[in-house]
Chain A
Amino acid sequence: MRKALAGLTIAFSSAATLLLFAAVLLFVGVIVFRGWPGLAPGLIFGDTRPLDALLLRRQVFDGLFPAMAGTLALVALTMTLAVPAGLATGIYLAEYARGRGKALLSLLFDILAGLPSIVVGLAGLALTIVLHRLFPGRIGPCLLISALALAFLVLPYLVRSVQLALESVPRTLRLTAPALGADKLTTIRAVLLPACLPEIAGGIILAVGRAIEDTAVIMLTGAVASAGVPRSLLAQYEALPFYIYYISGQYADPEELQRGFAAALLLLAMCVVMLVAAQWLARRGSLRRQP
């Protein structure tokens, strides 16, 4: 009886593992095999000369350039907003907040971490509507609103990585600077944050990966299928994940579909690279921690 249970467990575990990996490899394989041929010189810039496109002298209509530029602008803006807020919040939660205040704040950030991204996008849209009523005709769904909403979406990742890293600094290191007369803020700035740098960098990269791939937030707050390179913070824009979603339902010809697969492959590669980098940094941090 015991023996049969052991055998069953091993069979079940092997089957489950193989099935899961086979399923993921199937999906990834489809993207790689059908996307690979599309990685041609014209993929990004189409028929336009790359230099003309980069200098914004000419619009690219049949390439991924506008979507990539949109995603780049979006992620850069998102992180500019999210990193300072995430750092400040993580530092405050780890080093200052105590008791009930801390419990309430971490409950709120746990809720935020669990919220569906479409709900965060919806909140961004709600903000747009309010702003639209205040400044009629000036503000609609746009790059800035998307970045605000995305920053909010990735905030918990940043807060958590900063907070966890700070809270795991060993006590000997933590007391060194105060014993020499440093005040709390100086200790944080000069000793604790430098000691946590790899983990914080890992958290930031994780957040970038999350911001690059998110589709639900941006489809509610300003991403569109055709807008060209983003011209201003208050303009609509194209983005790589939205482009992939759009192509899946709306492709007109095999060429467009091919470009969709190639775009999916590019996005997949970016996210995997980000994840590997984040893992590596986190591991380096925990190794350095050991005495």
Chain B
Amino acid sequence: MSRLSPAERALQLTTVCCGLLVAAMLALMLVLAWPLLHSGQLLSLIGGDWQPAAGRYGIAPMLVASLLLAMVAVLLAVPLSLGTAFAAVALAPPLLRSPLMLGVRLMSGIPTVIYGFAAVFALVPLMRQWIGSGSGFTLLTAALVLAVLIAPTMIVFFVGGLRAVPQSYSLAADALGCRPVDKLLYLLLPQAAPAIAAGIVMGLGRALGDTMIGLMLAGNSAIMPESMLSTGRTLTSHIALVIAADFSSMEFKSIFACGIVLYLLTAALVAILRRALPATARP
């Protein structure tokens, strides 16, 4: 490598600093959560319940609510996204395909807080009626909206994978008199498996990382959720809700533990994603 000019050094320095900041975030949270981690309470922190008055700062209910909410949202979103991706790639009339994708891209630009706001006034009353008791703010309410929120992300991945077949194969299939649905099922779908897996991982990441939907719709009680119809508080909501506490309290320190858990979960998903799909294949 030849020597760099001062301007090029500045580019390098900026890049390295930004990169280091990503790692420094984790370090900073570790330092601030240290009093909790240090006292050997790691297990009771991860596995215990949340009783700040009794000095118990476990985040297990939040961890369970987060995972439950994200997984149900992904379960709901996968068929929605897969069906829409099928339509956009092969099954919809050719003239409708590109407007369909435009619609999907527009969906991805709708702010999360807007979904939350609309759902508070449109979906929550319906849920209240349907369940027959309670406020209507449940994990299921949040999961329904979250599914719609993460669908565009997944669709973009799915469509990318389905379209990855070389044009010549596709034309060869057409020349053999293959109907679009047969081409989809026997040519496009089999080779799209890695992209579909990547899309699901990506959707799971977005669902786990989302704050506003859980915060606005899931009810936020810090107890272990019994079912999707009970209220729950996600890790992300927990951070947003405890923030008002005194900076030096143990309660406050526990949110950095939540941050660390979320950071590590995300990093693990990114690692899985990079392994599953080469950089060039990512949309």
Q: Do chains A and B touch in the complex (CB under 8 A)?
A: yes
Bound-state Cα–Cα, A109 to B22, Å = 8
Quick one: which of B60-114 are within 8 Å of A by CB? 79-84, 86-87, 91-92, 100, 102-103, 105-114
Bound-state Cα–Cα, A148 to B125, Å = 38
Q: How far is the CB of B183 from chain A (nearest CB, A)?
A: 11
Bound-state Cα–Cα, A255 to B17, Å = 48
Residues of A within 8 A of B19 (CB): 104-105, 108-109
With A108-B22, A115-B209, A117-B209 known as contacts, the answer to whether A31 contacts B118 (CB < 8 A) is yes
Which listed residue (A6, A34, A92, A261) contacts B11, Cβ 8 A?
Answer: A92
Q: Establish whether residues A96 and B113, one from each chain, have CB atoms under 8 Å apart when the complex forms.
A: no
Q: How many contacting A-B pairs (Cβ < 8 A)?
A: 243
Bound-state Cα–Cα, A43 to B232, Å = 35
- Chain B 1-39: CB-based contact to A (< 8 A → 1; otherwise 0): 100110110111011101101110100110010000000
Bound-state Cα–Cα, A249 to B105, Å = 29
Interface of A is mostly: helix
- Chain A 165-195: CB-based contact to B (< 8 A → 1; otherwise 0): 0000000000000000001110000000000
Which listed residue (A26, A97, A220) contacts B15, Cβ 8 A?
Answer: A97
Q: Tell me, yes or no, whether A114 is within 8 Å of chain B by CB.
A: yes
Bound-state Cα–Cα, A84 to B15, Å = 11
Bound-state Cα–Cα, A91 to B12, Å = 9
Quick one: which of B110-168 are within 8 Å of A by CB? 110-122, 145, 148, 151
Q: Tell me, yes or no, whether A197 is within 8 Å of chain B by CB.
A: no
Quick one: which of B250-271 are within 8 Å of A by CB? 255-256, 259, 262-263, 266-267, 269-270
Bound-state Cα–Cα, A274 to B110, Å = 11
Interface size class of chain A, counting residues whose CB lies under 8 Å from the partner chain: 35 or more
Residue of A nearest to B279 (CB): A106
Residue of A20, A21, A93 with most chain B CB atoms under a 10 A cut-off: A20
Residue of A19, A126, A183 with most chain B CB atoms under a 10 A cut-off: A126
Q: Establish whether residues A10 and B210, one from each chain, have CB atoms under 8 Å apart when the complex forms.
A: no
Q: Establish whether residues A16 and B28, one from each chain, have CB atoms under 8 Å apart when the complex forms.
A: no
Residue of B nearest to A273 (CB): B109
Which listed residue (B81, B105, B119, B247) contacts A27, Cβ 8 A?
Answer: B119
Q: Establish whether residues A220 and B205, one from each chain, have CB atoms under 8 Å apart when the complex forms.
A: no
Quick one: which of B165-191 are within 8 Å of A by CB? 179, 181-182, 184-185
Bound-state Cα–Cα, A34 to B87, Å = 32
With A126-B32, A129-B32, A275-B106 known as contacts, the answer to whether A268 contacts B114 (CB < 8 A) is yes
Bound-state Cα–Cα, A192 to B7, Å = 16
Among B42-50, B51-59, B221-229, B236-244, the stretch in contact with A: B236-244
Residues of B within 8 A of A116 (CB): 208-211, 236, 262, 266
Which listed residue (A92, A118, A268, A279) contacts B105, Cβ 8 A?
Answer: A279
Q: Establish whether residues A23 and B209, one from each chain, have CB atoms under 8 Å apart when the complex forms.
A: no
Q: Establish whether residues A122 and B29, one from each chain, have CB atoms under 8 Å apart when the complex forms.
A: yes
Residue of B nearest to A189 (CB): B7
Residue of B nearest to A275 (CB): B109
Q: Which 9 A-B pairs have the closest CB atoms?
A: A16-B83, A116-B209, A275-B109, A213-B111, A216-B211, A88-B14, A13-B86, A27-B118, A92-B15
Given A6-B181, A244-B114, 20 new contacts (CB under 8 A): A13-B84, A17-B83, A20-B81, A30-B122, A31-B114, A89-B18, A92-B12, A111-B267, A116-B236, A118-B211, A118-B240, A118-B259, A118-B262, A119-B263, A185-B5, A245-B212, A248-B116, A268-B111, A272-B106, A279-B102
13 pairs across A/B with beta carbons < 8 Å?
A14-B91, A16-B86, A17-B87, A27-B115, A31-B117, A105-B16, A108-B19, A110-B274, A115-B262, A115-B266, A120-B25, A245-B212, A275-B105
